[in-house]
Structure 1
Amino acid sequence: MVPHLITALTGPINELEQRILDATPVIERWFRLEWMEHTPPLYCSVDIRNAGFKLSPVDTNLYPDGWHNLSPDMLPLAVQAGQAAIEKICPEARNLLIVPENGKPSSFYLASLARLQEIFRMAGLNVRFGSIDPAVKRAVSYALPDGEKITFEPAQRTRYRVGLKHFDPCTILLNNDLSAGAPGILEDLHEQYLLPPLQAGWSVRRKSRHFQCYEEVAKRFGKLIGVDPWLINPLFASCGEIDIHEPSGGECLRSNVDALLTKIRRKYKEYGINEKPFVVVKADQGTRGMGIMTVRDAKELAQLGSKPTRGKALPEVPHGEVIIQEGVLTNERIHDAVAEPVVYMIDRYVVGGFYRVHADRGEDESLNAPGARFVPLAFANNTQLPKPGVKAGASAPNRFYMYGVIGRLALVAASYELEATDPELEALA
């Protein structure tokens, strides 16, 4: 299924697409060499924004849900990627334990887990769900719309391994972002693979570190195919942890916002872009698109830390550590609603994706909000392979290939990021 796109690509993005298509053999070889040196996360999803003049990732999720939103046609590709991943990690594996999020699961999350279970079961593994939620004391079953059910069982620790009663897995797949910190039950495991590793959890992980790694990847890739890295890289700045009620905290935020906006204006002028630049201030850790503030002028932050006047609310700044990221418009439309592509990967392979579509949001707003709907993308099937001879901007499959390249660049950055925070590698350094 190919979504009906009412947008045509013009300007710099057309040139970028053409460069990527022309350089496909060079690009694919570059990725192969990267994966000889670095280990990709077992799975990953990447939110991408296409502004028409630049195309870049804005978020990389190492604990992706939403698997049920992928096209069923892509399932064989996901199964094949899952098999390749397991063969590398533990060729003799029989059992896989998936650790879900804590708390009561929504119907959407259960549907995602069911698809994830299906993928790895078809890849040749016995798959069960082991919850680390202290509230789960015994097995709990949840009904699915198709009449099937999902059962969460309390994960059990036996000496240096984690499993379930009469179920000893070779690999543990985390689908829990560990925002509250790494629980003891998952630490110091013996001859068991924990994927993603504990340092991928949000108690350790920072978006600023990821985008620092991505910036390095974008520079190398830009040099490889001869394009300005800015076309695929969102500029960013970080204040660390700030308190807007302290003068130093507010000043740090304002000065970084102003400096970043100045850099973006220069690039807009260079490319003749008439849009007004903006930045997004958001938490440096955490997911789900919560606590996001859009800023077009540092003056908008002048009142931060003061008391609100009657009838006038002050902008809400995310708590704790924040990242200030270049705002990227979305120039994609599906049936007049703004849309952004999300690319899904298992191991080093793109296995599908979807457009996140939101009729009530603007081109400069986050679409990861209640009311969003999802339209599957056909990244790879017999009739939707890239067409190098087709004029740039005229082929949706060519555009999807371009999205897959950007998604994989973020995947490479994630591998760098995990290496940089690996406690074992840090101990050897």
Structure 2
Amino acid sequence: MVPHLVTALIGPINELEQRILESMPAIERWFRLEWMEHTPPFYTSVDVRNAGYKLAPVDTNLFPGGFNNLTDEMLPLAVQAAMAAIEKICPEARNLLLVPERHTRNMFYLMNVQRLVRIFTNAGLNVRLGTLDEAITEPTPIELPDGSSLTLEPLLRSQRRLGLKNFDPCTILLNNDLSAGIPKVLEGLHEQYLLPPLHAGWAVRRKTRHFEAYEEVAKKFAKLLGMDPWLINPMYAHCGEVDWQAGTGLECVQTQVDALLTKIRRKHKEYGIGEKPFVVVKADNGTYGMGIMTVRDAKDLDEVNRRTRNKMDVVKDGQRVTQVIIQEGVPTYERVNEAVAEPVVYMIDRYVVGGFYRVHAERGIDENLNAPGASFVPLAFEKSNQLPRPGEKPGVSAPNRFYMYGVIGRLAMLAAAYELEATDPNAETYD
């Protein structure tokens, strides 16, 4: 059963859905050609916001941690995509070393790890878990809520390879976003495939760079469909050298917030949108919904209270926030059981393998939903047939709406491919 959605089914979003459905052959061919030129990230999740007048990605994660929220019906897709991804990289692969996050008490996250183990085991690999936690010096079982368990093992590093005791993997899969920096044990591996690469982690990656690449992708795609790229692209600005505790660099944030709000007002006027614009100020690096604030007026930044400064100053693993991205706020009009929701699209290699709604009963349409109290509702389908149905009216068919989410998710994934190429320290450069 599809969760009940009260999406604003009027105005430009229906036109956009219709245009996307009518252009499906052209869209799929366009993606096919792009993937001939660019390598997709190994796996990706994308948070999408549906404002009724605009549909856009607001965050792209290259180390997704919610595979446990996908339904069992979605698993065959994930297994097939995992097979395709591994065959491309290391066709003779037998062993896969999965390196998860250090935190071992978050049961939701560990259920995600368990699901990843299941996916790659079904893809024909021997999967074991190696931890970056130096406190773990011998195989350590962790009991999970469903009665099963995972075993974390200490990593063993030789001069050129990484593995476990009596386990030499062809491929190492990171499910750790490297927010705390790049561990020495992962550096200088020349004989094994490390996925995603080190420069995909938050030690190097920046959201500004991603949305710069996404802007390029959105323009290409919009040209293909003959539409305004703004309908699928959140505008953004950037500020570096910000110190939230000392209060320095906030003038830049204030100026950029004011300029971006002006641009959004102009677009709202062009499309006859009555919504009051807002922006979201985020840490330029980092995840887990930390270091985020919603701003409706630049004057609000005149007096940022101590609690907000503390929230904005430090993100995951105690990393200080010195750079921020200021992003156009995209409200979400999706609701599940009267609670505000946003779709999250999951992909392995270049394939959409499923997704879910992130739902938060205590948050508003203009707030970050990736916060304590969020719940997850799978993107289930009314019928087993998940293919879009182009003949139906826009807004009527759930598979059609989900196809549209998948297109936006893949655009963000393509932007991540551009981004990783641009930041690859081993890439050849030509003068």
8 Å contact kept, 2:7–2:52: no
Which residue does 1:10 correspond to in 2?
A: 10
Which residue does 1:241 correspond to in 2?
A: 241
Distance 2:310 2:195 in 1: 38
Distance 2:355 2:142 in 1: 26
User: Counterpart amino acid of 1:172?
Assistant: I
Could you say what the CA RMSD is over the residues aligned between the two structures, in angstroms?
A: 1.8
Q: C-alpha deviations, 1:335-376, integer Å up to 9, x for none?
A: 111100000000000000000111111111111111111111
Distance 1:3 1:225 in 2: 30
Which residue does 2:342 correspond to in 1?
A: 340
User: Counterpart amino acid of 1:82?
Assistant: A
Which residue does 2:407 correspond to in 1?
A: 405
Q: Which deviates more, 22-31 or 105-114?
A: 105-114
Q: C-alpha deviations, 1:196-250, integer Å up to 9, x for none?
A: 0000111100000000000000000000111110010110000123125778612
8 Å contact kept, 1:342–1:355: yes
| Cα distance, 1:381–1:424 mapped onto 2, change above 3 Å | farther
SS of residue paired to 1:424: coil
User: Counterpart amino acid of 2:116?
Assistant: L
Distance 2:3 2:49 in 1: 16
| Cα distance, 1:37–1:173 mapped onto 2, change above 3 Å | same
Which residue does 2:25 correspond to in 1?
A: 25
Paired-residue identity, %? 69
Q: Which deviates more, 8-17 or 272-281?
A: 8-17
Does residue 271 in structure 1 map to residue 271 in structure 2? Answer: yes
Instruction: Mark the runs of 5 or more structure 1 residues left unpaired by the alignment.
Output: none
Q: How many residues align?
A: 424
Cα displacement (A) at 1:317: 3.9
Q: TM-score, normalised by structure 2?
A: 0.95
Distance 1:421 1:240 in 2: 18
Q: TM-score, normalised by structure 1?
A: 0.95
8 Å contact kept, 1:38–1:416: yes
Cα displacement (A) at 1:381: 7.0
Distance 2:348 2:309 in 1: 42
| Cα distance, 1:234–1:379 mapped onto 2, change above 3 Å | farther
Q: Which deviates more, 292-301 or 399-408?
A: 292-301
User: Counterpart amino acid of 1:140?
Assistant: T
Cα displacement (A) at 1:427: 5.9
Distance 1:42 1:101 in 2: 17
Cα displacement (A) at 1:268: 0.4
Q: C-alpha deviations, 1:277-315, integer Å up to 9, x for none?
A: 0001110000011121111111111235xx87xxx9879
Which residue does 1:119 correspond to in 2?
A: 119
Instruction: Mark the runs of 5 or more structure 2 residues left unpaired by the alignment.
Output: 314-320
User: Counterpart amino acid of 1:5?
Assistant: L
Distance 2:103 2:311 in 1: 26
Does residue 388 in structure 1 map to residue 390 in structure 2? Answer: yes
| Cα distance, 1:378–1:32 mapped onto 2, change above 3 Å | farther
Does residue 362 in structure 1 map to residue 357 in structure 2? Answer: no
Alignment of 1:87-236 (within 5 A): 87-236=87-236
Q: C-alpha deviations, 1:361-410, integer Å up to 9, x for none?
A: 11111111111111111379742321101001111110000000000000
Q: Which deviates more, 274-283 or 369-378?
A: 369-378
Distance 1:380 1:194 in 2: 39
Cα displacement (A) at 1:2: 2.0
Distance 1:252 1:209 in 2: 18
Q: C-alpha deviations, 1:71-106, integer Å up to 9, x for none?
A: 110100100000000110000000000001013231
Which residue does 2:416 correspond to in 1?
A: 414
| Cα distance, 1:274–1:104 mapped onto 2, change above 3 Å | same
Distance 2:194 2:395 in 1: 42
Q: C-alpha deviations, 1:121-151, integer Å up to 9, x for none?
A: 0000000001112222221111123322100
SS of residue paired to 1:425: coil
Q: Which deviates more, 111-120 or 133-142?
A: 133-142
User: Counterpart amino acid of 2:377?
Assistant: V
